[in-house]
Every structure is written in C-alpha cells, then in structure tokens.
Amino acid sequence: MSTRTEPRRRDRTHYLYLAVIAAVILGITVGFAAPDLAKSLKPLGTAFVNLIKMMISPIIFCTIVLGVGSVARASKIGKVGGLALGYFMVMSTVALGIGLVVGNILHPGDGLQLTEAVAAKGEAQVKSAEGTTEFLLGIIPKTLVSAFTEGSVLQTLFVALLVGFGLLALGSRGEPVLRGIGHIQTLVFRVLGMIMWAAPIGAFGAIAAVVGETGLAALKSLAVIMLGFYATCLLFVVVVLGVLLWLVARVNLFSLLRYLGREFLLILSTSSSEVALPRLIAKMEHLGVSKPVVGITVPTGYSFNLDGTAIYLTMATLFVANAMGNPLSAGEQISLLLFMIIASKGAAGVTGAGLATLAGGLQSHRPELVDGVGLIVGIDRFMSEARALTNFAGNAVATVLVGTWTKEFDRGQAARVFAGQAPFDEASLVDDQEESVPEPRHELLEQTAARP
C-alpha cells in the first residue's frame, strides 16, 4: 500500500508546482491586460500572507524547542557533535553573510516603490522603535502564552528558548514533553502544507497587483532576485564548499555530487531535501564515513546546516524591503542576520517553511513590510529547488569534512566508489519508502548515533 501512496504524494506536489507557474503567468497577463482589475486582486495575495503569518509562532516555537534538544544530544556524544555543531553555525553564518553581500550588490526590488504610504509608515515605526531599552523589554511577553496570541516573533523565540533549556534541565523527565512537541510540529507542518495549496491563488493576486501597478519593472525585479539567488547558491557550493572540501579532505566536489545524483533528482522533484535523508545516511556510510559520524552529522545538519535557506532568507528580505520602498539600514541587516541564525534552524524539508521564516524575520524587525512577502510567493517555488539542493550539498560536504577531522573517513573506499569499483547497492535500502516520511530529527539522531 505504501508503494502506491508515495507516487501519488509526489504527483500532487508536482501539480501544485505547475499550478503556481500557471498562476504567475495568468497574473502577469491580467496585470498587463487590465491593470485596474489587477490592482483590485491584491487582497488575494494579502489573504495568503495572513495565512502564512498565522503559522509563524507555532513553527518557530516547535523548531527551536526541538532544536535545543538536538543540540543537547549531539553535544553529549562528544567530539563529533561539537565539531559538527561548530561547523554548522559558522557555515550558516557565512551563507547568511554572502546573501546580504550579494543582495546589497544587486539591490533587488529597487525601483518598484510600491506604496509611498508604506514607506512613510515604516519610517514612523522605525523612529518609534529606536530605544534599545524599549526594544529589549518588548522581548519579554506579558504571559507565557501571550507571545502566541499577540503574534510577536521575538517573544515567541524567547519563550521557545526558555522552554527548550527548561526541558534540557529536566533530562529524561522532559522526554515525553519533547516527544509531544515533536507531534505538534508534525501537525503544524501538515497545516502549513494545506495552506500552501492556496499558494497559486496568493501568487496570482500578488503578481497581478504588482504588475498592474508597476508594469515591466516588477518582472525585471523578480528576474533579478531569482537569477541572482541561483547564481549565489551555485557559487557558494562550487567555490566555498568545493574549495573547503578539497583543502580538508582532498575530495573532488563534482565526484561527490555525481555520486549523489539520484538523490538530487529526488530533491528536485519534491523541492525538499528531507525526502533524501535516509538515502544520504546510507550513501555516506558506503562512501567511507563511519556510522557514528554519519549518524550524528547528517540528522543534526538537517536542522542546523541550512546554507541555501540562509542565502534565500537574507536576499528575499532585502528584495521585499527595497520593493516596498523602505530598505533596511546596515544595523537592521546585522540584527536580522543574528535573528535568522537562530530562527532558520529547522526550516529544511518542509515546503513553505522558508516562506514562514522569511515572514517571521520581517515581522520581528519591520512589521510593516510583512505584506510584501506576497511579492515573492510567485517565485518562491522556483527558488525552493535551489534552497533544497544547496542544503543537501552542504550536508553531504559537512559529513565528509567532519569524518576527515575525526579521522573517521576512509579515502580509499571513497576513491573506489568514485571510480565505479564499489557501486552502491540499492537493495541495501530495504524500505525505500521511508524517504517520503522521515523520522523526527531528534529521534533519528539518537537511533543513528547508537549504531555500532
């Protein structure tokens, strides 16, 4: 029965992708053919953005709480966990920084100036939020649950960190609560998946309204952000990851990517890197990385090593701010980078989670710009493939690097694999259908780390 369910699931995702493409084309057509009508369709995009905003607090709460639990488990395992986490934090920060640099070079969204009223409103809000004391006091919610009801992202983040470290202090007594939050996260992402089926409607309304108001300028700006993002991801993988992989492990990046070709095709068809998680574990072990290193590095990396998502978040944020005529200052960009380092953890593997994290970053820093998320809905699906592929490549490289640093990587076996002398046995994946329903990351981490 499971063998029948998986293809249907992939097909439905493919239909959503096609529907978004059709909606974007239709929105552009309406925007040029009937500008006044197109402008009146803006509420469709606003409604979809509001649905995404509704999911921000629960998504951030669940992913941060479970992320703290994953850090605890990885750190207990010792040297491998420490190396992996240190590398993940550094590389995610580098990716975020690259996204900011490229975004400031390209200036995506410049020239749209969608609403002067929005810009004026933004200036007023920035002036009213200049006080550091007021900002810090505003992070503390009135009650433990008011952060969820008031929609404050920073307050939700604060509460999530408190709960996460509180569960960590409870030790084994906190495990039932942690598992319960894992189930809640599954429900939250399922609801988000349902909401994403409204993406074609939201994309149609948002694109039609923007094109109706700005004409060709909108299309040029969308092309700049999309092509710039793809180019940035490609350069990051080839230059940053490729050079690092060769210097540390003496492994050719393109040989590694070719070895994982089937997994890349799987990710490309689903826009999610998590569907290939079980296969990545098996293939990295076959490549010559020891089971303990793979068991710790791969699951932890899926929550903490999101290079593609990091680049997307910073570039998309700059695009929205510029398009709304209210660009971010240097201080706001640095503050946003620090926020994204924490909030982006756990956004991998779920279609729409990156969009929700983007909205969360804007909500925490410049609430008046959140409505601009609708501008990027139409091309988010195009960019999700690059995000997922970059995340996956980053985790594969990280596994080899950590294996090399801990002397748990067999270069001889890797050479045989790349030369075709030791092909991967697909039959070793007894239940290939597991790839469509991956285990919760905190449970998978314990199970794989315990392997002999």
Supply the range of the domain harboring residue 233. Answer: 2-449
Q: Whole-prediction pTM value?
A: 0.65
The pLDDT, as a whole number, for residue 444 is 44
The pLDDT, as a whole number, for residue 445 is 43
Domain count, the chain: 1
Q: What is the CATH number of the domain that holds 279?
A: 1.10.3860
CA-derived radius of gyration, the chain: 22
* Full pLDDT tens readout for the chain, 452 residues: 444 444 444 446 567 767 877 887 888 888 888 877 887 887 887 787 778 777 777 877 887 777 666 666 555 556 777 788 889 888 888 888 888 888 888 877 666 655 544 444 434 433 433 444 655 676 788 777 777 777 666 677 778 878 888 887 887 788 888 889 888 888 887 887 788 788 788 878 877 877 776 667 667 777 788 888 999 999 999 999 999 999 999 999 999 999 998 888 767 755 566 667 778 888 898 999 988 888 778 877 876 788 888 888 888 888 888 877 777 777 778 877 777 776 665 554 455 566 667 777 777 667 777 777 766 766 676 677 788 889 899 999 999 999 999 888 999 999 999 988 888 876 655 433 333 334 444 444 444 444 44
The pLDDT, as a whole number, for residue 270 is 54
The pLDDT, as a whole number, for residue 10 is 45
